[in-house]
Amino acid sequence: MSGALGDVLERHVARRPDAVFLIAPETGATLTYAALARERQALEGFFEARGVRRGDKVAFYLPNGLQATLVFLGTMAAGRVVVPLNLLAQRAQLAYVLEHCDCRLVFTTPELAPALAAARAPLARAIEVVEVDPDAPGQFGPAPPARASEAPVAPTDPALLMYTSGTTGMPKGALLTHANLLAAAGSVAAWHGLSAEDRCLSSLPLYHVNGQVIATLAPFVSGGSVIAPRRFSVTAWWDLVERHAPTWINLVPTIIAYLLNAASGAGARRFPSVRFARSASAPLAPEQQRAFERAFGIPVFEAMGMTETASVAFCNPQDPARRKYGSVGLPCGVEAKVADPASGRALADGVAGEICLRGPNVMAGYYKSPEQTAQAFDREGWLRSGDLGYRDSDGYYFVTGRLKELIIKGGENIAPREIDEALLRHPAVLEAAAVGVPDPAYGQEIVAFVVPKPHAVLRLEELREWCIAELGRFKTPREFRLVAELPKGPSGKIQRLKLAEAL
């Protein structure tokens, strides 16, 4: 898709100005494409009055909803660089991002302002804070008159500065251009055949790249609409589906598990408006995928992306007959290869290595981090994903783990996901995560953290016997720990390194 995000908005306004883009289910408020364009123009005047120029950074610390979407899209369309702030970030990480990103201004709500103030307190640089109502439009004044002399926003201009989760240290800021974002969103829209008639219901926050690109920008480029609840609620989810009739839903494996658990023992429900669900941001166990499809009659397409590729890299084909359970699918909008992590040499089908990516949606680099940017790419310009996996003879990709999370026991590489999936096949297990811990005999041993289903009774010896039958003795965890929950990032991805640090 050509141009910048503002150009796409102008095309929609010219063709279908009164079409609804956003639905806020808590308040019933809607936002048309014409209203979005007016808000974008008003926001540009708001920035100009405060000296926030083209290319300056503007952050937001807002819950999902109408205002967060306006700020997210409007800031980029106005030629500024938007910086979403993670509402779950610890104070030290939030302070780091605020300082590192060089933002001039940050939007928040009165309820969230104290947490933001605490993070800003140690900073030397002044940052203007603007408190807004998260549900009300029209807070930025009238739109200024157009200035013919101002150059249009270019596709190569930066649009989004998105900080990674930072599980191994302070987060890195992936800088994505208008062209990166439109390439990614356009690939998703084309892959799933999205049109102006499609409507997405998203379970993800707007401070995560999946919620930004897949659930917001993909409907935006296709001229469709998005239902943006303030937060995910397992008890309200299917009521939202019945009330607003989305044609597709955007999920992550953790939410799939919660919806399945809530549906256990209940009568089957069917939702004829929903033609598919998309799952990404973390590995989806085949057993959970099949169970979800049986329970709700909705085909699930597993996908994969990363912040550095604007959330897009792989997806299973739209034809359900061509899906492969356990696979993240085929390359979507990118070139992909599996390479030897040491040499970068491409590996044959069936041989595991590091998955590398190249394409128009791959980031411009890490902000103010030339060394980290250089380390992220090989000499031929391939982005090193850090994910381990292989390609089969049909061209489908399978992810087996992360380089930093690989368990090496007695010299043998063991993918934590293999152990997770064995445990998830147990009827009383809701979630599971295996990690490697130091061991004097084997180098590393395996510890598994298990979240039982509510009201289930799990004996540790029963889990051990189950794993021996599923995995064999060598890959059976030395220790099992029953826990109430697993640490996760904003997308629901399990943070294994935090589990290992707690041992």
Instruction: Identify the pLDDT of residue 502.
Output: 76
Mean pLDDT (whole number) for 410-432: 87
- The rounded distance, in Å, linking the Cα atoms of 142 and 44 is 10
Distance CA 176, CA 259 (A): 33
Q: Give 63 or 441, the one with higher predicted confidence.
A: 63
List CB contacts of 365: < 8 A, sequence separation 6 or more: 175, 373, 376
Mean pLDDT of 56-75: 96
**Where residue 167 falls among pLDDT bands split at 50, 70, 90?**
very low
Whole-number Å distance between alpha carbons of 76 and 59: 11
pLDDT tens string 99-125: 999 999 999 999 999 999 999 988 888
Rg for the chain, CA atoms, rounded? 23
Query: Cα torsion for 297, 298, 301, 307, to the nearest 10°?
Result: -140
- Distance, in Å, from the CA atom of 446 to the CA atom of 108, rounded to the nearest integer, reads 43
Q: In whole angstroms, how far apart are CA 209 and each of 173, 176, 333, 437? A: 12, 11, 16, 31
Report the pLDDT value the prediction gives residue 410, as an integer from 0 to 100.
74
Cα–Cα distances (Å) from 185 to 49, 156, 169, 395, in that order, read 32, 16, 29, 23
pLDDT band of 490, cuts 50, 70, 90: low
- Cβ atoms of 212 and 229 within 8 Å: the answer is no
Are 62 and 112 a contacting pair, CB within 8 Å? Answer: yes
Bridge partner list, 59: 83, 106
Query: Distance between CA 380 and CA 346 in Å, rounded?
Result: 12
Question: Per-residue pLDDT for 386 more than 70?
Answer: yes
Rounded to whole angstroms, how far apart are CA atoms 482 and 487?
13
Whether 130 contacts 107, CB under 8 Å:
yes
Task: State the sign of the Cα–Cα–Cα–Cα dihedral 441, 442, 448, 449.
Answer: positive
The pLDDT value given to residue 3: 87
Conformational region of residue 181, where left means phi above 0, alpha means psi within -120 to 50, and beta covers everything else? alpha
Give the pLDDT of residue 171.
85
User: In angstroms, rounded to a whole number, what is the distance separating the alpha carbons of residues 174 and 246?
Assistant: 31
The pLDDT value recorded for residue 253 is 87
The token duo for 155 is 């596709």
> How many H helices and E strands in the chain?
15, 25
Mean pLDDT of the region 398-411? 81
To which residue do tokens 């609409």 refer? Answer: 225
Question: What is the topology classification, in CATH, of domain 406-502?
Answer: GMP Synthetase; Chain A, domain 3 (3.30.300)
Give the pLDDT confidence score for residue 214 in this predicted structure: 97
Q: Express each pLDDT in 21-51 by its tens digit.
A: 999 999 999 999 999 999 999 999 999 999 9
Amino acid at 172: K
277-323 pLDDT, tens per residue? Answer: 999 987 888 988 999 999 999 999 999 999 999 999 999 999 989 99
Share the mean pLDDT of the chain. Answer: 91
Q: Alpha-carbon dihedral of residues 258, 259, 265, 269, nearest 10 degrees?
A: 180
Every domain of the chain and the residues it spans: 406-502
Q: Which two tokens stand for residue 113?
A: 């302002």
Q: Is 21 helix (H, G, I), strand (E, B) or coil?
A: strand
Q: Which range has the top average pLDDT, 61-65, 136-140, 170-174, 437-441?
A: 61-65
pLDDT band with cut points at 50, 70 and 90 for residue 169: low
Q: Is 12 helix (H, G, I), strand (E, B) or coil?
A: helix
Alpha carbon distance 415, 102 (integer Å)? 39
What is the per-residue pLDDT across 459-473, written as a single tens digit (0 to 9) for each?
Answer: 999 999 999 999 989
Strand-strand pairing, 353-358 and 335-339? antiparallel
Confidence class for position 148, pLDDT limits 50, 70, 90: low
Angle CA 430–431–433, to nearest 5: 155
Q: Residue 375 above 80 pLDDT?
A: yes
Contact yes or no for 39/137 (Cβ under 8 A): yes
Q: What pLDDT, on the 0 to 100 scale, is given for residue 412?
A: 76
Give the confidence band of 20 by pLDDT, cuts at 50, 70, 90: very high
Query: 314: which 2 tokens?
Result: 């792989």
Cite the DSSP H helix spans in 272-316.
286-296
DSSP state of 305: -
pLDDT above 90: percentage of residues in the chain: 74
Report CA 178 to chain centroid distance, whole Å.
Answer: 18
List the one residue out of 400, 450, 446, 403 whose CA is nearest residue 427.
450
Terminal-to-terminal C-alpha distance of the chain:
48
